[in-house]
Structure 1
């Protein structure tokens, strides 16, 4: 699960950076504000890569997905990109868990000393 979720978060890292560049063209937004918010969101993506398997990591990932969708009020394309990454996040979590379970079953079958292998 960690690999799939981290891959999604790294993709989001780049999308947030590009959205920051687009938001810079809005004359109503200060450049420092845009890059502070974008920088915090980008840092959150990288930090979540390390804690995604810990308790609360998945929930923090969902909070980031919601924030990405809400950023569509500043950069309208982010409504679409946020929805795409939310779907990717769901798939990463869902299929990542299935892969982890399959790996655990395979490891139990390969090790005859494990009580579950019988």
Structure 2
């Protein structure tokens, strides 16, 4: 699960950075505010790469997805991008857990085969 979730989060890192560049063009927003918010979100996406399999990691990932979708109020294209990454996050968690279960099952079968 860690590999799939980390791949999604690193993709989000870049999308958040590019959204920050777009948001800077808005004359109503301060550049420092844009980069403070984007910097926190980008740092969170990198930190979550290591926390994805720990307790609360998936929930924090979902919080990041909600924030990414909500950023569409500033950069409208982020409604779409946020929804796409939320779908990727769901797939990463869902299929990542299935892969982890299959690996554990194969490891148990291999251990049984060695002892027999």
TM-score by length of 2: 0.97
Structure 1 moving runs of 4+ over 3 Å: none
The CA distance in 2 between the partners of 1:33 and 1:113, in whole Å, is 59
Match of 2:71?
A: 71
The CA distance in 2 between the partners of 1:24 and 1:58, in whole Å, is 30
Matched, 1:62 2:62: yes
The CA distance in 2 between the partners of 1:35 and 1:64, in whole Å, is 16
Instruction: State the 1:112 CA deviation.
Output: 1.5
Matched, 1:111 2:114: no
Match of 2:90?
A: 90
Ranges in structure 2 where 5+ consecutive residues have no aligned partner? none
The CA distance in 1 between the partners of 2:92 and 2:50, in whole Å, is 15
The CA distance in 2 between the partners of 1:51 and 1:112, in whole Å, is 31
Match of 1:27?
A: 27
* SS of match in other structure, 1:38: helix
Deviation track 1:37-68 (CA, whole Å, cap 9, x = no partner) reads 00000000000001111100000000000000
Larger deviation: 93-102 or 104-113?
Answer: 104-113
* SS of match in other structure, 1:112: helix
TM-score by length of 1: 0.95
Alpha-carbon RMSD: 1.6
In the alignment of these two chains, the number of paired residues is: 116
Ranges in structure 1 where 5+ consecutive residues have no aligned partner? none
Match of 2:5?
A: 5
The CA distance in 1 between the partners of 2:34 and 2:8, in whole Å, is 22
The CA distance in 2 between the partners of 1:94 and 1:49, in whole Å, is 16
